[in-house]
Amino acid sequence: MTQTAARFVPFGTTIFTTMTALANMHKAVNLAQGFPDFDGPDLGKIAAQQAISDGVNQYAPLAGLPVLREALARWSADYNDATCDPATEITVTSGCTEAIAASMLGLVNPGDEVILFEPFYDSYRAAVAMAGATPKFVTIKPLDGGFTFDFEDLKAVFSDKTRAILVNTPHNPTGMVMTDAQLVFIADLCKKHDVLAFSDEVYERLTFDGNYHRSIATIDGMRDRTVVMSSLGKTFSLTGWKVGWAIAPPELSAGIRAAHQFLTFSVPGPMQMGAAALLDNARDEIDRISQHYTETRSVLSEALSGLGFKVYAPQGAYFIMAEHHAVSERLGLKTDIDLCTWLPEHAGVAAIPPSVFYKHPEHGAGFVRFAFCKKMDTIDQAIKRLETALRP
């Protein structure tokens, strides 16, 4: 009999942990959990090590070290066209995942409704549940080899109980990058219904094929009702550092801090020192990593297409969503869960079954998600294994 509190029972164990365990058990190449198999720039590591030697080893301030908040204000001004006050508008969190939880707990009341796009990153739904709020869903659907959502569907889920909408662009897992028109449409609804936008922008610097990232905070009238949430992990290949942040006007930041102080209180100081150094001094990493992912994305896409997957070219982030029917049929399998359970053992490659990211799992059961945030050698090895196991 489970002892787990009822609010968490529906969510089980996160798919990332489950699939990584399966990958390890079968010594499979892990294209499931989205983490790079290489480290970020040395200058960040050196700055963090130096901070430990220099004695930055006691609690950091609740809102984050001033030096990091100042670096984030410069980052935000340069990339998001938004000036912000480091003292009152920036909170450093334990990864973006904590920024999401702190925003839900600090700004949403029990009984409020929160709009989520499905497929969603799995912590969103759990964070809504922790806040005692009710999630409402809008489906991002495949269309013409890409993904989009229907404006009428979105309009229909706004109500007088809606407190917030969680926007994620570039989007995990579909790779959709929202256009200005989509952002303006969402913004108009937020303004009309007096709704907050929680904007998860962790893949902000990873876009392809001329697509560009724009924060919803930069749409007219949105700055005052948006929490911009991001992190160091994806841009600088340091997912394990768990340095994230929430940028919001003072009244919203006060709510976020109200929750953050009792969740984690503060983030490890040395990691914050490393983060500050990277944000200011390692911006050339953005081009380097984008170039690398452009290559791994294209090599993996081509190989998957050759094996009979229908690849939806991601506009951003570092995942490929591929329809697997033709491949699964040959193997006598049906759903994404069947295929992702089969792959590690029989092909030596792990991937994510995206149906777990849907309120309506049937919308995702035809897809499989492969991460391409890996060394080219790793991608090559995965391709060789897939070709051996799956070639028709």
By CB under 6 A, name the binding residues for ligand GLN.
16, 33-34, 172
Identity (one letter) of the amino acid at 37? Answer: D
**Closest distance to ligand GLN from the beta carbon of 34 (Å):** 3
**Closest distance to ligand GLN from the beta carbon of 6 (Å):** 23
**Closest distance to ligand GLN from the beta carbon of 371 (Å):** 6
d(CA 126, CA 364): 19
| Shorter beta-carbon distance to ligand GLN: residue 73 or 166 | 166
Pick the closest to residue 321 from 149, 167, 176 (CA basis). Answer: 176
| Shorter beta-carbon distance to ligand GLN: residue 94 or 301 | 94
| Shorter beta-carbon distance to ligand GLN: residue 17 or 83 | 17
d(CA 281, CA 320): 30
DSSP H or E stretch at residue 186: helix 180-193
Question: What phi and psi, each to the nearest 5 degrees, are found at residue 162?
Answer: -65, 125
Tell me which residue has its CB nearest to ligand GLN.
34
**Closest distance to ligand GLN from the beta carbon of 12 (Å):** 14
**Closest distance to ligand GLN from the beta carbon of 33 (Å):** 5
Gyration radius of the chain over CA positions: 21
The full DSSP string for 242-282 is -EEEEE--HHHHHHHHHHHHHHTSS--HHHHHHHHHHHHH-
| Shorter beta-carbon distance to ligand GLN: residue 69 or 297 | 297
Beta-carbon contacts of 365 under 8 Å, excluding residues fewer than 6 positions away, are 334, 335, 336, 337, 353, 355
| Shorter beta-carbon distance to ligand GLN: residue 36 or 270 | 36
| Shorter beta-carbon distance to ligand GLN: residue 34 or 86 | 34
| Shorter beta-carbon distance to ligand GLN: residue 34 or 44 | 34
**Closest distance to ligand GLN from the beta carbon of 16 (Å):** 3
DSSP H or E stretch at residue 291: helix 284-306
The full DSSP string for 330-371 is HHT--SHHHHHHHHHHHTSEE-B-GGGG-SSGGGTTTEEEEE
**Closest distance to ligand GLN from the beta carbon of 205 (Å):** 15
Number of alpha carbons in the 13 Å side-chain half-sphere of residue 184: 4
Pick the closest to residue 205 from 273, 142, 278, 262 (CA basis). Answer: 278
DSSP E strand boundaries for the chain = 29-30, 90-94, 113-118, 134-143, 146-149, 162-168, 196-200, 226-231, 243-247, 310-312, 319-323, 349-350, 367-371
Question: What phi and psi, each to the nearest 5 degrees, are found at residue 226?
Answer: -120, 140
| Shorter beta-carbon distance to ligand GLN: residue 103 or 172 | 172
Q: Which two tokens stand for residue 106?
A: 């600090």
| Shorter beta-carbon distance to ligand GLN: residue 162 or 296 | 296
**Closest distance to ligand GLN from the beta carbon of 385 (Å):** 20
**Closest distance to ligand GLN from the beta carbon of 383 (Å):** 20
Beta-carbon contacts of 179 under 8 Å, excluding residues fewer than 6 positions away, are none
**DSSP SS3 for 206:** coil
| Shorter beta-carbon distance to ligand GLN: residue 169 or 172 | 172
d(CA 34, CA 18): 13
**Closest distance to ligand GLN from the beta carbon of 19 (Å):** 9
